[in-house]
């Protein structure tokens, strides 16, 4: 089969994608027209220009503007179902979707209403699109102690049925002012049985990665691309097999990497690090999960067995039930076997 056909057929999981950032252009336009008067454009041409980011802080401001369009439980469900609809044709079977409860809190949505919308959308995503949804609750790091408190309260008091993890995103340089609050939040979440999956090492150096390892008990790390600046950290990540959820196009679009050809993913693989491939905020970055596999093949030179290994990494690093992991691994192996014998 052609490379494109192989990539589309490859069973995949998406471990690093954000609820609001997953909204396709038609979905954002629908929300913008549903809630007029926002700074988000209501035409496709203007919206695509709006998604041209100067740097990460500018991206964060645009993201927050779109966030403010999510004002009703129906808006939350619309985003989840839109993601499932978009992922299904790409061979995606399972997604761990990052949700930022604080963003819904500040527009007045009650915890219970958000949770009911997430539960409903997860059921419909599986029934209508064949995509299983799990959730990660994510602290908006630059909003400090209040964001940490609200996120923990929602996770512990009104969790959706499919909540599996607890994370932190946003501007990494802002975290140092609130480290005690963030450490406490992760401690409470982990005590409740949630997995620790923070962002780190995207826009700051190895020290942020060490902080989430030592202070947050990280079990998987979002991005981690700047780990290569610290040989001791690279050795630790390799020896512990701590997964890094890498999103190449995202890093270029937010200015963390100058060109896709300069992305550190190939060297991270050469160093023996445990890498999963993800899309982050796909419509905002003009990518898809399948397109990230195409980048890995066409830009980084990975062959089909190596692409299949990235897909296996994602399955193994996920919080799927073991029997579901085994079934997906078998599907990946069978696709590779068929491809190599035709």
Query: pLDDT by residue (tens digit) across 73-98?
Result: 999 999 999 999 999 999 999 999 99
What is the predicted pLDDT for the residue at 39? 83
What is the predicted pLDDT for the residue at 52? 82
Summarize the confidence of residues 114-126 as an average pLDDT: 97
Question: Cα–Cα distance between 68 and 82 in angstroms, integer?
Answer: 18
Contact 21, 104 (CB under 8 A): no
Note the pTM of the prediction, 2 decimals: 0.93
Classify 98 in phi/psi space as left (phi over 0), alpha (psi -120 to 50) or beta: beta
Summarize the confidence of residues 13-37 as an average pLDDT: 87
What residue spans define the domains of the chain? 12-306
What is the predicted pLDDT for the residue at 36? 84
Summarize the confidence of residues 319-332 as an average pLDDT: 97
Per CATH, the architecture of 12-306 is what? Alpha-Beta Barrel (3.20)
Question: Is pLDDT above 90 for 8?
Answer: yes
Q: What percentage of residues in the chain have a pLDDT greater than 90?
A: 79
pLDDT, tens digit, 9 for 90 and up, residues 174-215: 899 999 999 999 999 999 999 999 999 999 999 999 999 999
User: In terms of Cα–Cα distance, which of 98, 122, 261 is closest to 195?
Assistant: 98
User: In terms of Cα–Cα distance, which of 155, 121, 123 is closest to 138?
Assistant: 155
Confidence class of residue 107 from pLDDT cuts 50, 70 and 90?
A: confident
Residues 6+ apart with CB under 8 A from 1: 9, 339, 342
Residues with catalytic roles = 202
Joined together, the tokens standing for residue 48 give: 């695509």
């Amino acid at each position: 089969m052609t490379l494109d056909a192989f990539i589309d057929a490859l069973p995949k999981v998406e471990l690093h994608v954000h609820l609001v950032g997953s909204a396709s252009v038609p979905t954002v336009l629908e929300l913008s027209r549903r809630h007029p008067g926002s700074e988000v454009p209501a035409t496709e041409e203007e919206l695509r220009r709006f998604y041209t980011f100067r740097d990460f802080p500018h991206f964060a401001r645009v993201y927050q503007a779109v966030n403010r369009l999510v004002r009703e439980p129906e808006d939350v469900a619309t985003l989840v179902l839109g993601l499932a609809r978009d992922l299904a044709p790409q061979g995606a079977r399972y997604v761990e979707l990052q949700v930022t409860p604080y963003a819904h809190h500040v527009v007045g949505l009650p915890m219970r209403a958000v949770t009911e919308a997430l539960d409903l959308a997860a059921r419909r995503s599986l029934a209508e699109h064949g995509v299983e949804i799990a959730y990660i609750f994510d602290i908006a790091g630059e909003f400090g102690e209040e964001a940490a408190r609200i996120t923990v309260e929602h996770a512990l008091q009104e969790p959706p049925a499919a909540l599996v993890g607890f994370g932190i995103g946003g501007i990494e340089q802002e975290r140092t002012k609130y480290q005690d609050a963030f450490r406490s939040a992760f401690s409470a979440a982990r005590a409740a049985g949630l997995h620790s999956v923070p962002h780190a090492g995207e826009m700051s150096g190895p020290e942020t990665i060490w902080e989430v390892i030592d202070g947050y008990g990280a079990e998987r790390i979002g991005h981690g691309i700047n780990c290569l600046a610290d040989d001791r950290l690279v050795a630790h990540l390799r020896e512990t097999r701590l997964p890094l959820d890498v999103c190449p196009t995202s890093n270029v679009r937010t200015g963390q990497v100058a060109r896709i050809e300069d992305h550190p993913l190939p060297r991270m693989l050469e160093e023996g690090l445990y890498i999963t491939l993800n899309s982050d905020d796909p419509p905002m970055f003009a990518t898809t999960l399948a397109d990230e596999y195409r980048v890995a093949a066409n830009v980084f030179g990975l062959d089909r067995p190596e692409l299949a290994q990235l897909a296996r990494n994602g399955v193994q690093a996920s919080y799927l039930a073991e029997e579901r992991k085994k079934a997906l691994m078998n599907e990946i192996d069978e696709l590779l076997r068929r491809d190599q014998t035709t």
